[in-house]
Structure 1
Amino acid sequence: MHRGLKPLLAVAAVALAAGCSSPSQPQVTFYSHGDSVAVEPAQLCDPTGQQCSPPNQEAVGRLRMVGRDPLQISVPREISSAPWQVAFLYRGLNGEELDGRSPVFTPDERHSYTLHLPPDGARIEHVEVQQFSAVLTQGPDGGVDFGIGGSWVLNVQQ
């Protein structure tokens, strides 16, 4: 074998092995007050909702939010190519736990969302990016609901 060919074959073998590895799962980046955290999916399903990864209890991001700063959320194309939304829990001034949701974003409509706190001094505690699957179920009001095909979770520290 030619001397210069051996290193080239070794590099080709490494590149081939890397190409055969499974692709990484899409991450959501949460950003506030100069800090960010990238979060793996807590669960991810194929578009039909048939094959899902086991729930990953460890895939929970933690981010400190200071004062009234907004929370910026960035999603990659793997997430924004399907309908998605942001669900969140926050605590009002009186200690009451409240929830809210962003609008549902249509496929490829946007890759980011900024969550602003209500003006009454509430504190965000939990945020979840939810990607919808193609699975439809009967809704409680007689309509239809889309199944959640992926979720990315953030717990906020004050």
Structure 2
Amino acid sequence: MRRVLLPLSLLVLAGCAAPVDPEVTFYADGEAINVRPSQYCDLQSENCEADADAAGVLRVRPGKPVQISVPGDLAESAWSVKFTYRNGRGEPQEPLRSKLFTERDPRYAYTLVLPNPDDQLESVEVQQYGARIQSSTTGAFDFVARGTWVLSVDDRV
């Protein structure tokens, strides 16, 4: 009788475990890092939890791509990649953003390639959007980020 009760009690305990925030994997130059969300909210982009220590750091040489892998819950929602970079002369450029990925065509991975071969990546931000929409000062509508995963780039050569 005990053999039956023990596995059943383990199932009950496993079912009560708190949900774990999804992690995003960044890969560049043969190294990978898993990053927790620096901010993660409910579907309405409210009731947020922040983790200032969640940002990851990865070395990325000029012009090299960064591969990003996201878990299923993120892939099957609306998300995009925002990034900052400098040109080959070291001048900061306007931040750019990938296209918006949605649940209609789930995307589990994305390769971030900079515009020019001598550009230097500075930071990458994966943003998952919630259900809340707000209007901007230009009259356009913007989705509000639900979750944010941040990668800071170590650009020492």
- TM-score of the superposition, structure 2-length normalised? 0.88
Decide which moves more: 83-92 or 117-126.
117-126
Question: Given the alignment, which residue of 10, 22, 27 partners 1:26?
Answer: 22
1:7 Cα deviation after fit: 5.2
SS of match in other structure, 1:23: coil
Partner SS for 1:97: coil
Partner of 1:143: 140
Contact 2:37 2:51 in 1 (8 A): yes
Shift of 1:86: 0.2
What is the letter of the counterpart of residue 101 of structure 2? F
Corresponding position: 1:152 with 2:134:
no
2:63 to 62, 65, 68: 68
Do the aligned residues in 2 keep the contact of 1:82 with 1:131 (CA within 8 Å)?
yes
The one of 74, 77, 82 equivalent to 1:87 is: 82
- Bigger mean CA deviation after superposition, 104-113 or 31-40: 104-113
3-state secondary structure, aligned to 1:14: helix
C-alpha displacement of 1:12: 3.3
Write the distance in 2 (CA, Å) between the matches of 1:69 and 1:91. Answer: 13
Equivalent position SS for 1:105: coil
Please report the RMSD computed on the Cα atoms of aligned residues, expressed in angstroms: 1.6
State the identity %.
39
> Are the equivalent residues in 1 in contact too, given 2:130–2:145 (CA < 8 A)?
yes
Output aligned runs, 1:29-48, within 5 Å: 29-48=25-44
Question: Which secondary structure does the structure 2 equivalent of 1:13 belong to?
Answer: helix
Q: Which structure: larger Rg? A: 1
Ranges in structure 1 where 5+ consecutive residues have no aligned partner: none
Equivalences, count: 153
Runs of 4+ with deviation above 4 angstroms: none
List gaps (5 residues or longer) in structure 2. none
Tell me if structure 1 keeps the 8 A contact 2:37–2:147. Answer: yes
Q: In 1, are the aligned partners of 2:61 and 2:120 still within 8 Å (CA)?
A: no
TM-superposed CA distance for 1:81, in Å, is 2.0
Query: Given the superposition, is the C-alpha separation of residues 77 and 42 from structure 1 closer, same or farther in structure 2, using an over 3 Å criterion?
Result: same
Q: Which moved more, 1:29-38 or 1:103-112?
A: 103-112
For residues 39-94 of structure 1, give each alpha carbon's deviation from its aligned partner in whole angstroms, at most 9, with x where no partner exists. 111111111123222x1101011111234321000111211222110000111223
Q: Aligned residue for 1:118?
A: 115
TM-score (structure 1 length as normaliser)? 0.88
